Amino acid sequence: MLTRPDPYPRSLVLVAALTATVLFAGCGPTATTSLAPSASSPGAPIAGASAEASTHAPSAAVGTQTDTEWGRIWDNVPIGFPRYPGSSVADDTSPEPVSATYAIAGGGDPEQIASWMQAALETATFSTEALSGPLEDGSFVLDSVGDGGCRIQVAIKPLGGLTFVTVRYGAACPEG
């Protein structure tokens, strides 16, 4: 009987799992790939976390901060920050600096997106301070807090055939 070598030897799987664990350790909130966030223990990555970088501009330097009217923010969100399924990194067109901007093609229901973001952030150990909306323009604003004065604001706004998710990731939050 002829046997084929295992294409995924146990040592390779173990190395990949350890690498993923190291990469996601201390990254803060992480994304899920389903429409409903998965339950996990506090501080643990959410199941299905995305390893894709979550920046609003590819040229933005990691580890830098900017002062805004909202407060001081990181210029990026950590890798694995909750990102609505099907969204893509978008250029920020607002005059106000943000940590990340994502676009959802085909519109997307802002209320559903806001609820998903709220659940994803709560699963990642952030508490909801307020969820406002729908506002006059159909947008929602989610304010969340974490340990040590960490504040996050997520704005969901429909515009034309797209829905934009804009994140302000406070300077007191852990750097990714």
Least confident of 16-30, 110-124, 133-147: 16-30
Average pLDDT in the 123-148 region? 96
Residue 176 lies in a domain: no
Report the pLDDT value the prediction gives residue 62, as an integer from 0 to 100: 57
Residue 46 lies in a domain: yes
At 115, the pLDDT band (50, 70, 90 cuts) reads very high
Residue 28 lies in a domain: yes
Q: Identify the sign of the CA torsion 59, 62, 65, 70.
A: positive
Report the pLDDT value the prediction gives residue 33, as an integer from 0 to 100: 32
Q: Are strands 127-132 and 100-105 parallel, antiparallel or unpaired?
A: unpaired
Q: Output 158 or 6, whichever has higher pLDDT.
A: 158
Conformation bin of residue 108: beta by default, left when phi > 0, alpha when psi is -120 to 50: left
Residue 5 lies in a domain: no
Domain count, the chain: 1
Average pLDDT in the 41-64 region? 41
pLDDT in tens, 53-106: 333 333 344 589 999 999 999 999 998 899 999 999 998 667 889 999 999 998
Q: What is the mean pLDDT of the chain?
A: 73
Report the pLDDT value the prediction gives residue 80, as an integer from 0 to 100: 85
Range of the domain at 69: 10-169
CA 84 to chain centre: 8
Q: Which of 22, 42, 17, 45 is nearest to 32 (CA)?
A: 45
CA–CA separation, 161 and 152 (whole Å): 26
Residue 76 lies in a domain: yes
Residue 174 lies in a domain: no
Residue 105 lies in a domain: yes
**Residue that is written with structure tokens 């994304």 in the block:** 31
Q: Are strands 127-132 and 88-89 parallel, antiparallel or unpaired?
A: unpaired
Q: How large a percentage of the chain has pLDDT more than 90?
A: 55
Residue 2 lies in a domain: no
Residue 36, pLDDT above cutoff 70: no
Burial of 88 (0-12, 13-18, 19+ CB in 10 A): exposed
Q: Is 31 in contact with 83 (CB distance < 8 Å)?
A: yes
Residue 130, pLDDT above cutoff 70: yes
